[in-house]
Chains A and B, each alone.
Chain A
Amino acid sequence: MVTAIGDAGERRDGPRNLRAAVDRTACCGYALCVEICPDMYELGDDNVVHIIQATIPDELMERVRRAVELCPQSALSIEEGDF
């Protein structure tokens, strides 16, 4: 089961498995996430963002969170679940 994580919804209990997700119908290619975290997001030939690596490494977490916060289309999210 996959749970979207909101501002207050970060679960610290139990094993964490966080991955980056993009709503590709909402994405308009502002590319802000690409500028903030190029190791995680890239712009495809279709000018929509693609996720480079699904699971978010700890060292990129702060950048991914900032990309999620700043996405003009609110197209990015962090999902938690058993993958």
Chain B
Amino acid sequence: MELNYATPGIPDHVPPELVRPYELAERRTIYENPYEAIIPAVHEGPAAFMSPHAYLGVAPAWVFRRAADIKKILMDNENFIKKGNTSFARMIGEDWDVIPTELDPPRHTAVRRMLNPMFTPAKVGAFEHKVRERARDYISAFKDRGHCDLIKEFAVPYPVSIFLDLLGLPTARMSEFLEWEFALIHASELEDRVVGVRAVKAYLTEVIEERRRRPGDDLISNALQLEVEGKKLTPDEVFGHCFNLFIGGLDTVTANIGLHFMHLAMHQDHQQQLRDDPAVIPAAMMEMLRAYSATSHQRICSNDVEIAGVRIKAGDRLLVPLPLAGRDPEMYESPNEIRFGRNATVLTFGFGIHRCLGVYLAQREIQFALQEMLSSVPTFRVRKDFRIPFRVGGVIHTWSLEIEW
């Protein structure tokens, strides 16, 4: 394997005082809120530091904590590239790109130009009534019961079932797909992640072949028709794109919805504010997206550069944690306070050319979740004695959230 998983050492040019642990990158479950217990302490440290396992849990990477530096990195596609950054292909000894997220310009630009029209606000708006109905369906199953596990009964099946519909994949197999997704994104052990990647590869390859023979009205069939720079995608590219859709659609909205409801269950005054004035919900959602940003991203340095006062060399790996950006005291006044009227710039869906392709769907899903829950379920709180499990790593999740009302 090209990427050395045998714990490669810290490069010589890194000053020893800038080598430090970074707890948020360790894939594990903790029982304290990482936004309170870990992130503020990171903001008391240096602007950039190198952590031995920050890169996908297996290799050293520079970690940046300031929103201004993160914006600079995400806008600089010459010095900070993405080729091969997820390592999913290399994990199984293959060579394909996750598309578009592992592409760099100019190919990335050409691909996004063709993909963006499929996910515009207008395209999503055309089926948003179905999204809202789906939220209502799941909520009505538990709203009269007085309690639920908000993650298992809502934050998982609601956005995931919508995405499976878009891909034309069977909702009946959702739990199997989620097992693979969990393995490849969240598993602590590399071997488990490899199993997840192989399972998704085998399944999607089969589905793509089937759609090639019998096209339908779904995103996988669309990928087969897509022309970029006048040419259809190669079989590897079609697969790489479907893989990107699969990993993008089955995890992050669940994380965001879970974290937002965790916040509201613990802050009933904030619930009340939204119940009294539902018009505040869109702004409240943006504020919670800022404060509970969930994903961290990788870049690979392609030239020697200096950023945040440190020298970075070509080949160095970078971790860009959006949960840190969202709580940066230099960017946001009192960042640990949730203020629905803040109206701040939010980096949660990324910044620059790799901004989330599904953002307009994701925002609607989260907003409808908040609106429908608050209008159907009375004031809810975390069930007494329930300890909220948080999964940290590349994506921060509340793993389970037992609430009652």
Contact = CB atoms under 8 A, between A and B. Distances in A.
Interface string A22-60: 000000111110110000000100010000000000000
Contacts of B112: 28, 30
A30 B117 contact: no
A47 B116 contact: yes
A29 B113 contact: yes
A30 B116 contact: yes
A5 interface: no
Contacts of A35: 121, 360
A47 B345 contact: no
Contact of B353 (A34, A43, A69, A72): A72
A30 B109 CA distance: 11
In the A-B complex, the 5 residue pairs with the smallest Cβ-Cβ separation, listed nearest first, are A29-B116, A47-B117, A28-B113, A72-B353, A31-B120
Interface of B: 75, 109, 112-113, 116-117, 120-122, 345, 351-355, 360
B96 to A, nearest CB: 23
Chain B CB count within 10 A is highest, among A29, A32, A34, A72, for: A72
B293 to A, nearest CB: 15
B360 A31 contact: yes
A4 B121 CA distance: 29
A29 B120 contact: yes
The main secondary structure of chain B at its interface with chain A is helix
Nearest to B116: A29
Given A66-B345, A69-B345, A34 B117 contact: no
A69 to B, nearest CB: 7
Given A30-B112, A31-B360, A47-B116, A73 B121 contact: no
B351 A34 contact: no
Contact of B345 (A29, A31, A70, A72): A70
Contacts of A31: 116, 120-121, 360
A30 B117 CA distance: 8
Contacts of B354: 72
A75 B175 CA distance: 42
A38 B109 CA distance: 24
B117 A29 contact: yes
Nearest to A31: B120
A28 B120 contact: no
B351 A70 contact: yes
A43 B120 CA distance: 9
Given A30-B355, A31-B121, 12 more contacts: A31-B116, A31-B120, A31-B360, A34-B121, A35-B360, A43-B120, A47-B113, A47-B116, A47-B117, A69-B345, A72-B354, A73-B353
Nearest to A45: B117
19 contacts: A28-B112, A28-B113, A28-B116, A29-B113, A29-B117, A30-B112, A30-B116, A30-B355, A31-B116, A31-B121, A32-B355, A34-B120, A35-B121, A47-B116, A47-B117, A47-B120, A69-B345, A72-B351, A73-B353
Contacts of B121: 31, 34-35
Contacts of A74: 75
B245 to A, nearest CB: 17
B120 A72 contact: no
Interface string A62-74: 0000100110111
A41 to B, nearest CB: 11
A7 to B, nearest CB: 12
Contacts of B116: 28-31, 47
A32 B136 CA distance: 28
B106 to A, nearest CB: 11
A63 to B, nearest CB: 10
A34 B109 CA distance: 19
Nearest to A69: B345
A49 to B, nearest CB: 11
B159 to A, nearest CB: 19
Contact of A43 (B113, B122, B352, B355): B122
